[in-house]
Amino acid sequence: MPWVLLILGVMAAVVASSSRHARMPMFVLAVVLLIFVSAIRYKTGYDFDSYVDIYREASNGSSPDGMEWGWHLVNGLSKLLFGSAQGVFLLTSIVIYGLIAWVLYRESEYAAFALLAFLLNVPFYWESLATLRQYVAIAICLLAARQWVKGERVSFFVLVGTAILFHAPAAASLVIPVLAWWRSRWLMLASAASLGIAVSSTMTDLVASLDLLAKYQSYFDGTIDASGEVASGLVVYARALVALWLVWLVDRMPELGQQRKNLVVNGLILAYALFFTLYESTALRRIAYYFFIYELLMIGYIARHAIRFSGASGRLLHWGAIGAYLLLGATLLFKDVWTNPLGRHEDPLFNREYRTILE
């Protein structure tokens, strides 16, 4: 039921987008609902217990292996302000959804459509309930990307450095200046495809041979199918094709500016290249999430452009892209395609069970 309420709340914000006065208040209300549902959850999210254990160890004065400095800070603030592990989920909910929503709204006044896409796609809201460290870093890096295209170079590097303190792979976002500069789409596609082929052919052996990557060996499940259904994988590829449709539309919007277009288009090409290259590892392919987040920016841009478009055929083309993207995203969400068939169906996140601290 909470998931249904979330979707209905965001859909109400989408409807309110047509009203200049109601647009922002309804968007804020939808974001507050996202934060609230996430903040009061209990045993929801497949890493929930791990974060509770980390908090307890940190509160007892020990330092869990591999915990970044930023996460020390989160646990320290949670103990100081709330005296319980629930503070971790409250603080991270505010940071993750607050930052993402702020960037989306600043980039497009019709950001409610992007927020709906955030709910109806597996790599976003549902993953953020579990991979807290990474999603704090993703939210910070999204803000950093906006700072770069605004010309705020120093704040960009400060923000990416901060994100790395929460999740070391956030260093991948240091490629943002290259993405914003690179104008040749065909060269980007060719480079990403070539790199993907080269890396995927050696990935398993590379991870097995390097002690630095030893922890990723257990994450090699070798599938992107849901519960062993081959047809589910086809939906993933269809979604990738729709993403290319989004890329084509956004790349033809003159009002965006060249750097913004370069960033989101090249970023999405890189995201899918990374995902399909690293698909055999559930952990490594999450690096792609740092760039999948640009899909949300694209939805906001396309919605704004569609509303202002004068021709009926042009509107249909843009709204069709948004509708197809949301439909395929929802299909993947309910089929759990982006994960694997190793008992995940029993997890309280993906079977939509929801418990709160109030129970």
Average of per-residue pLDDT across 117-133:
85
How confident is the model at residue 164, as a pLDDT? 95
pLDDT at 163 over 90: yes
- Is 63 part of a structural domain of the chain? yes
Domain count, the chain: 1
Predicted pLDDT at 350: 45
Residue 208: band (very low, low, confident or very high) from pLDDT cuts 50, 70, 90: low
* Mean pLDDT along residues 99-128: 90
61 pLDDT more than 80: no
The residue with greater pLDDT, 59 or 270, is 270
- In this prediction, residue 207 carries a pLDDT of 62
Tell me how far the alpha carbon of residue 10 is from its chain's centroid.
Answer: 17
Lowest mean pLDDT among 106-115, 244-253, 309-318: 309-318
Mean of per-residue pLDDT scores for the chain: 82
Inside any domain, residue 56? yes
Per-residue pLDDT at 225: 41
**Residue-wise DSSP of 248-292:** HHHTT-GGG-HHHHHHHHHHHHHHHHHHHHSTTBTTGGGGGHHHH
CA distance 202 to 194: 13
Q: Which two tokens stand for residue 186?
A: 């065909």
Q: Which residue did the predictor score with more confidence, 166 or 83? A: 166
Domain assignment present for residue 32? The answer is yes
Q: Of the spans 85-99, 176-190, 281-295, which averages the highest pLDDT? A: 85-99
In a domain, 37, yes or no: yes
Tokens of 236: 């993933």
pLDDT digits (tens, 9 = 90+) for 18-49: 888 899 999 999 999 999 999 988 887 778 88
Containing 214, the helix (H) or strand (E) segment is none
In a domain, 354, yes or no: no
Q: What is the pLDDT of residue 200?
A: 66
Residue 165 has pLDDT above 90, yes or no: yes
Q: Does residue 119 belong to any structural domain of this protein? A: yes
pLDDT band at 156 (very low <50, low <70, confident <90, very high): very high
pLDDT (0 to 100) of residue 214: 56
pLDDT tens per residue, range 300-353: 999 988 887 767 788 888 999 999 999 888 877 766 544 433 334 444 444 456
Q: Is the pLDDT of residue 144 over 90?
A: yes
DSSP 129: T
Residue 308 domain flag:
yes
| Structure-model confidence comparison of residues 65 and 191, the more confident one | 191
Domain region containing 254: 2-346
pTM above the 0.95 mark? no
Alpha helix ranges (H) inside the chain: 2-16, 23-39, 48-59, 69-81, 86-107, 111-119, 127-128, 132-149, 153-166, 176-181, 185-200, 203-209, 230-250, 258-277, 289-292, 294-308, 312-335
Q: Would 356 be classed as within a structural domain?
A: no
Listed range (95-104, 122-131, 187-196, 343-352) with the worst mean pLDDT: 343-352
